[in-house]
Structure 1
């Protein structure tokens, strides 16, 4: 049995379906089924029972899964100890990063980092902050937007003011009625926008809501005059010079999206993590 086999068992138990697991780890469904059969033949026990909705561990499967968890944890602990003992900056750096940050800032940051530490292997996952919060313990560092993680050490990288843009002016004497275009983000972003709209309903009234997948799509829709869009300053580029806009404020204070780097206690003892955190904190974002 290889360490990858034990990791696959744990992932199957976590996801609950062969199809979902195959999609997540980017291999074919038949390949996952074949590897599971090999492991059941190896142990001579049925590990999972397939129901109509999910995989359920058998009593023997639960024992095997506990064993697999211990094996994977011991393997990771061994790698960590070896990385700590090395004088050269190397090993794996696992990062979970907000999609916006990964598109706007991370390429340049990683380019600088990998040029300085070429022997470090980067393990990167990107997505919305809400998804990263669920699995943050699987990564050395998590770069998220909104609220910081409660059970981690967190450093605020920057505060990102929000603006509402449109191709049409924002009149002060009449209610502006226009479609509002939003992009896929975590709930805290939508709550901030909804809260601001509630307190400014005498000035701005969205006629309908349109949701697109990416922030860049949202920007392009707005530029074509399809509707208004709330965008953070970090992705607005020169838009404040080209399009009518209003800064989002409540009680005279800007409405912002904070960006945080979060990590578990002790992880900065790893040289590759310490250097990456230093690179992030020494970067100018806005």
Structure 2
């Protein structure tokens, strides 16, 4: 097997779908199918089994896929080591980024970093903070930007803290909140637990959720258009001074807040590209971007 075979098997293994794999690899489905058949003929085993929806790997195919993932990992490590030995800041920086940070902060950060280090490329993965935590745990990325506190034995640096608030298109009283229409959005378990705990410590009734959306930005737009209130981090609604925004508080009187961290493994700081990026982030007012 060569690099293309490793990449193909690893992608098939993660997607379990020939159509999705071919799209990610930028090859046609017939080309991908032909390459699978060539590998099967070479090893004399069946690698995948086609299902009505997607594929599954045979035991032999799974061993080949796991070997391919390991070889890709080793190839990436040696490339990074060689780049580091050049004593230059170049190569590919792999970053995991929570959804809000990816939309509102990351494009500007990468542009500014690229201006200083034009030979750097980026491999950015976005998703829920829990997914970005898993990526950094597994060393699939060099560092992750994560909202909330997750178990971690490596290094993490606080970027900023933001209050959790109620944002509404109209004035409201706290006692009226359970009867008012609420816009809810899909978020990670940490944020969900934080909001639910606050709600049930203040109200006996369940919230009157009449619209459910996937993304916080969609939720915000619903609020801006007068369809209901939402509970979210205040940075989301900062560009909309026309909204009524009231912070949530713990029973102790402290504001309910959520922190955004930069997580990384200390040993990766030996890499020029990671060291340069972490140093760059430390110089910035990330919250104010």
- For Structure 1 versus Structure 2, the TM-score category normalised by the shorter chain is 0.7 to 0.9
What SS does the aligned partner of 2:192 have?
helix
Partner Cα distance (1:96, 1:106) in 2? 10
Partner Cα distance (1:85, 1:270) in 2? 9
Equivalenced residues, count: 283
| Conserved? CA contact 1:218–1:229, under 8 Å | yes
Higher deviation after alignment, 156-165 or 22-31:
22-31
| Conserved? CA contact 1:10–1:65, under 8 Å | yes
Q: Deviations over 1:38-96 (max 9, x none)?
A: 3223333322334557413333x355345424422331221121022012211110111
Corresponding residue for residue 72 of structure 1: 72
Partner Cα distance (1:15, 1:112) in 2? 33
Corresponding residue for residue 189 of structure 1: 191
Higher deviation after alignment, 135-144 or 65-74:
65-74
Corresponding residue for residue 8 of structure 1: 8
Q: How far 1:31 moved relative to its partner?
A: 4.1
Q: Does 1:112 align with 2:137?
A: no
Partner Cα distance (1:175, 1:219) in 2? 17
Residues 28 and 134 of structure 1, relative CA distance in 2, 3 Å threshold: farther
| Conserved? CA contact 1:148–1:260, under 8 Å | no
Q: CA RMSD in A?
A: 2.5
Q: How far 1:227 moved relative to its partner?
A: 0.5
| Conserved? CA contact 1:179–1:227, under 8 Å | yes
Corresponding residue for residue 274 of structure 2: 273
Partner Cα distance (2:174, 2:140) in 1? 49
Using the size of structure 1 for normalisation, the TM-score is 0.87
What SS does the aligned partner of 2:171 have?
coil
Structure-to-structure mapping, 1:1-286, within 5 angstroms = 1-22=1-22, 28-51=28-51, 54-59=55-60, 61-136=61-136, 137-171=139-173, 177-201=179-203, 206-239=207-240, 241-251=241-251, 252-284=253-285, 285-286=287-288
Unaligned runs of 5+ in 1: none
Q: How far 1:110 moved relative to its partner?
A: 0.9
Higher deviation after alignment, 14-23 or 270-279:
14-23
Q: How far 1:213 moved relative to its partner?
A: 2.7
Q: How far 1:212 moved relative to its partner?
A: 1.6
Residues 173 and 254 of structure 1, relative CA distance in 2, 3 Å threshold: closer
| Conserved? CA contact 1:182–1:212, under 8 Å | yes
Using the size of structure 2 for normalisation, the TM-score is 0.86
Partner Cα distance (1:126, 1:24) in 2? 16
Q: How far 1:153 moved relative to its partner?
A: 2.3
Partner Cα distance (1:191, 1:24) in 2? 35
Residues 211 and 27 of structure 1, relative CA distance in 2, 3 Å threshold: farther
